[in-house]
């Protein structure tokens, strides 16, 4: 601000010098002239300023996850849209193919997961069955081993006893044959012969008795019954003779049969002896069986261990099932993403707003969807302009004076003569450094009753009001001079304008364009704001003329020991206000 005033004063001084140069031959003027300004009551402000851009409340880039040809773009810049309104349509052919492939992959993954689940169930059942069968086989092998052990331990004694028994039976059979041949059959033949002789004798006796009784009957000495009895006795004797004779005839046949039977018994006992002797070789067989039974037990134990180890296959099958289910999840996610991309071929507005940027036109071919390396293709930008803000960068030296809720005066380059009111809504918690300049981003909300047609993207300057005093006496800052004793003075216009009066004043707050006067001045009094050395201005004008004619500005001031022209007499306490010149 001071620099601006100095420049203005310099221009005024040059103009005054020119005016003096053209009129010096007409009127006699003083070598020093003063410029005055009135002391007035008004509003005193102190502020800092920063530049930025107007932004909307929110700005959303509407992007397409689907790729392909943009067959329809339904909005233009400036279009007002509601949430769900159509923005664009993307050719769905390629996206549909991806979705169909993802659906097929999902079905395949589901089938693999089901197969893995069935395999796991089958593996569990088979493992349990195999373990149980192995345990049963081990138990049976142990039983056979126990039986083989018993048989192997007692078989030698059994074999020896069987041989002895068979040998005894053979010897008894041979003895029975010999007794039959030498004793029983001769005795039977003798008994049969004696029976024939005895019965023949009985027949002869019976015949003689019958003859005698018949004779006695004829003589009348016996009854007829006696003859009948003799006749019956004779018949009985003849019958016994016939039986004895028949027995004698069959005795040889019976003897042959008995001998054959005895020989058969001998053959049986001899065979039994041979079998018993042969069975004695079972000792080695049983030993072999015992060794085989032991081996069978060992094999059954190994089979049980293998069956138990095969239970680990259950864990493998379970891991395969987990992998299959994970593949199903991946396929389901891919299918869902493909469905989202397919649905995204119809792009709608995500919120209410105004289309502020259109990034492409119909017929543009855009790459497919969002990924780690791509976030989709922007179609349009929708902004919420119901609230407008200015985002500006405040120098780190000034940011301490900026507070949330603070009043702000906003001026845009598009409407430089219309000031907008606003307030600070956010001060970023971190500073940023760009081109070695450190600043803090501040967000200023423009009041809603703004009638100026400000739009996002405009450049704006924000003046942050750090102090505002109303209805105070204000003098120009350059009119106040700070003394060495700490007192401030001004030069007040007197009855002779060429001789201003020096007056001590009490100052208060300093603003951007003035300083508060608490006492020492009155409203309407004029104070010196600039002191012009007319002679020096004349010299400067002369040198400028020479420079224009080609002589340059060689040398310096015309009178180096004289007082330099003073554009201001201020610069004392409080002069210049709180803000730094921009």
- Structural domain of 100: 96-304
Cα dihedral 330, 333, 339, 343, rounded to 10, equals: -150
* pLDDT attached to residue 335: 86
Q: How confident is the model at residue 411 (pLDDT cuts 50, 70, 90)?
A: very high
Phi, psi of 470 (to 5 degrees): -105, 145
> Which residues on adjacent β-strands are paired with residue 238?
none
* pLDDT attached to residue 186: 85
Q: What is the pLDDT of residues 263-272, one digit of tens each?
A: 888 888 888 8
* pLDDT attached to residue 26: 40
Q: What is the pLDDT of residues 515-570, one digit of tens each?
A: 998 888 888 888 888 888 878 888 888 888 888 886 554 444 444 433 333 333 33
- The stretch 6-12 carries a mean pLDDT of 46
Q: How confident is the model at residue 241 (pLDDT cuts 50, 70, 90)?
A: confident
- The stretch 496-513 carries a mean pLDDT of 86
- The stretch 50-73 carries a mean pLDDT of 87
- The Cα–Cα gap between 236 and 438 comes to 167
At 239, list the tokens. Answer: 């019958």
- The Cα–Cα gap between 119 and 112 comes to 10
* pLDDT attached to residue 278: 72
Task: Reply yes or no on whether the pLDDT at 227 is more than 50.
Answer: yes
Task: Reply yes or no on whether the pLDDT at 9 is more than 50.
Answer: no
* pLDDT attached to residue 19: 47
With respect to residue 407, please indicate whether it lies within any of the assigned structural domains: no
- The Cα–Cα gap between 197 and 239 comes to 13
With respect to residue 458, please indicate whether it lies within any of the assigned structural domains: no
Q: What is the pLDDT of residues 23-33, one digit of tens each?
A: 444 444 457 88
Give the CATH number of the domain where residue 272 resides: 1.10.287
Residue 241, SS3 per DSSP? helix
- The Cα–Cα gap between 461 and 259 comes to 151
- The stretch 421-433 carries a mean pLDDT of 92
With respect to residue 257, please indicate whether it lies within any of the assigned structural domains: yes
At 548, list the tokens. Answer: 């224009």
With respect to residue 208, please indicate whether it lies within any of the assigned structural domains: yes
311 touches 127 (CB < 8 A) = yes
Q: How confident is the model at residue 260 (pLDDT cuts 50, 70, 90)?
A: confident
Q: What is the pLDDT of residues 184-219, one digit of tens each?
A: 888 888 888 888 888 889 888 988 888 988 888 888
With respect to residue 265, please indicate whether it lies within any of the assigned structural domains: yes
- The stretch 268-277 carries a mean pLDDT of 80
Task: Reply yes or no on whether the pLDDT at 576 is more than 80.
Answer: no
- The Cα–Cα gap between 106 and 307 comes to 36
- Alpha helices of 392-470 — where are they, by DSSP H? none
* pLDDT attached to residue 53: 92
> Which residues on adjacent β-strands are paired with residue 132?
none
With respect to residue 460, please indicate whether it lies within any of the assigned structural domains: no
**Total structural domains within the chain:** 1
* pLDDT attached to residue 145: 80
Q: Of 80-84, 361-365, 405-409, 576-580, give the lowest mean pLDDT range.
A: 576-580
* pLDDT attached to residue 368: 76
* pLDDT attached to residue 575: 34
Burial annotation 103-139 (CB, 10 A radius, 16+ → b, else e): eebbeebbebbeebbebbeebeeebeebbeebeebbe
At 241, list the tokens. Answer: 């003779």
- The Cα–Cα gap between 173 and 177 comes to 6
* pLDDT attached to residue 393: 92
- The stretch 79-93 carries a mean pLDDT of 88
User: How many residues appear in the chain?
Assistant: 582
269 touches 169 (CB < 8 A) = yes
Phi, psi of 314 (to 5 degrees): -65, -45
Task: Reply yes or no on whether the pLDDT at 571 is more than 60.
Answer: no
* pLDDT attached to residue 391: 93
Strands of 234-311 (E only): list them: none
Residue 220, SS3 per DSSP? coil
Q: How confident is the model at residue 392 (pLDDT cuts 50, 70, 90)?
A: very high
Task: Reply yes or no on whether the pLDDT at 20 is more than 50.
Answer: no
At 492, list the tokens. Answer: 């007040």
Q: What is the DSSP letter of 373?
A: S
Cα dihedral 482, 37, 538, 2, rounded to 10, equals: 50
Task: Reply yes or no on whether the pLDDT at 8 is more than 50.
Answer: no
Phi, psi of 366 (to 5 degrees): -115, 150
Residues 6+ apart with CB under 8 A from 478: 5, 529, 530, 568, 569, 570, 571, 575
Task: Reply yes or no on whether the pLDDT at 279 is more than 60.
Answer: yes
Q: What share of the chain has pLDDT > 90, as a percent?
A: 10
* pLDDT attached to residue 559: 40
* pLDDT attached to residue 283: 66
- The Cα–Cα gap between 389 and 462 comes to 11
CA-closest candidate to residue 295, choices 151, 156, 138, 155: 138
- The Cα–Cα gap between 533 and 497 comes to 15
Q: Of 186-195, 439-448, 495-504, 560-569, give the lowest mean pLDDT range.
A: 560-569
399 touches 393 (CB < 8 A) = no
Q: What is the DSSP letter of 170?
A: H
Owner of token pair 């493998």: 316
* pLDDT attached to residue 128: 81
Q: What is the DSSP letter of 576?
A: T
- The Cα–Cα gap between 254 and 178 comes to 16
With respect to residue 343, please indicate whether it lies within any of the assigned structural domains: no
- The stretch 9-19 carries a mean pLDDT of 48
> Which residues on adjacent β-strands are paired with residue 474?
40, 516
Q: What angle do CA 206, 212, 213 make, to 5 degrees?
A: 90
Q: What is the pLDDT of residues 155-168, one digit of tens each?
A: 676 677 777 788 88
Mean pLDDT, the chain, rounded, equals 80
- The Cα–Cα gap between 244 and 194 comes to 9
Q: How confident is the model at residue 504 (pLDDT cuts 50, 70, 90)?
A: confident
With respect to residue 260, please indicate whether it lies within any of the assigned structural domains: yes
Cβ atoms within 10 A of the Cβ of 555, count? 10
Inter-axis angle of helices 93-179 and 312-343, nearest 10: 160
Q: Of 132-146, 339-353, 546-560, give the lowest mean pLDDT range.
A: 546-560
Task: Reply yes or no on whether the pLDDT at 5 is more than 70.
Answer: no
515 touches 576 (CB < 8 A) = no
Q: How confident is the model at residue 374 (pLDDT cuts 50, 70, 90)?
A: low
Pairing of strands 407-412, 353-358: unpaired
């Amino acid at each position: 601000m001071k620099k601006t005033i100095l420049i203005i004063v310099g221009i005024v001084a040059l103009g005054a010098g020119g005016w003096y140069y053209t009129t010096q031959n007409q009127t006699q003027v003083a070598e020093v002239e003063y410029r005055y300004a009135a002391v007035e009551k008004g509003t005193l402000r102190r502020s800092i300023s920063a530049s930025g851009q107007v932004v909307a409340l929110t700005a959303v880039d509407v992007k397409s996850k689907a790729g392909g040809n943009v067959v329809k773009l339904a909005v233009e810049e400036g279009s007002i849209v509601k949430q769900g309104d159509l923005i664009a349509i993307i050719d769905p052919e390629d996206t549909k193919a991806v979705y169909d492939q993802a659906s097929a992959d999902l079905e395949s993954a589901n089938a693999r997961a089901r197969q893995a689940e069935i395999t796991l169930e089958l593996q569990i059942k088979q493992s349990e069955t195999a373990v149980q069968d192995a345990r049963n086989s081990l138990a049976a092998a142990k039983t056979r081993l126990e039986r083989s052990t018993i048989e192997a331990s007692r078989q030698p004694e059994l074999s020896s006893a069987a041989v002895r028994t068979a040998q005894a039976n053979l010897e008894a059979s041979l003895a029975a044959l010999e007794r039959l041949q030498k004793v029983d059959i001769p005795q039977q033949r003798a008994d049969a012969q004696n029976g024939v002789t005895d019965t023949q004798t009985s027949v002869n006796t019976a015949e003689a008795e019958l003859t005698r009784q018949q004779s006695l009957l004829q003589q009348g000495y016996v009854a007829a019954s006696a003859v009948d009895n003799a006749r019956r006795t004779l018949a009985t004797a003849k019958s016994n003779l016939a039986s004895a004779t028949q027995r004698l005839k069959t005795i040889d046949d019976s003897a042959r049969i008995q001998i054959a039977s005895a020989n058969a018994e001998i053959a049986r006992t001899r065979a039994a002896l041979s079998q018993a002797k042969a069975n004695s070789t079972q000792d080695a067989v049983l030993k072999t069986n015992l060794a085989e039974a032991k081996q069978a037990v060992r094999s059954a134990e190994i089979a049980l261990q293998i069956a138990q180890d095969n239970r680990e296959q259950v864990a493998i099958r379970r891991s395969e099932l987990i992998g299959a289910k994970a593949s199903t999840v991946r396929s389901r996610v891919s299918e869902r993403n493909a469905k989202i991309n397919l649905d995204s071929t119809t792009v709608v507005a995500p919120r209410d707003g105004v289309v502020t940027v259109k990034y492409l036109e119909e017929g543009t071919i855009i790459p497919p969807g969002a990924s780690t390396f791509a976030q989709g293709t922007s179609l349009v930008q929708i902004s919420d302009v119901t609230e407008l803000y200015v985002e500006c960068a405040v120098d780190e030296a000034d940011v301490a004076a900026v507070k949330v809720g603070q009043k702000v005066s906003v001026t845009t380059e598009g409407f430089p003569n219309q000031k907008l009111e606003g307030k600070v809504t956010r001060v970023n918690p971190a500073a940023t450094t760009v081109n070695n300049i450190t600043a803090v981003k501040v967000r200023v909300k423009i009041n809603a009753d703004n009638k100026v047609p400000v739009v996002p993207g405009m450049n704006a300057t924000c003046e942050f009001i750090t102090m505002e005093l109303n209805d105070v006496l204000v003098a120009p800052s350059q009119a106040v001079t700070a003394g060495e004793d700490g007192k401030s003075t001004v030069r007040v216009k007197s009855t002779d304008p060429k001789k201003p009066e020096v007056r001590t004043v009490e100052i208060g707050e300093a603003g951007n364009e003035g300083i508060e006067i608490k006492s020492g001045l009155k409203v309407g009094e004029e104070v010196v704001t600039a002191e012009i050395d007319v002679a020096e201005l004349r010299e400067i004008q002369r040198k400028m003329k020479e420079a224009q004619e080609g002589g340059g500005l060689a040398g310096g001031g015309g009178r180096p020991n004289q007082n330099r022209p003073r554009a201001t007499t201020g610069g004392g306490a409080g002069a210049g206000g709180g803000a730094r010149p921009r």
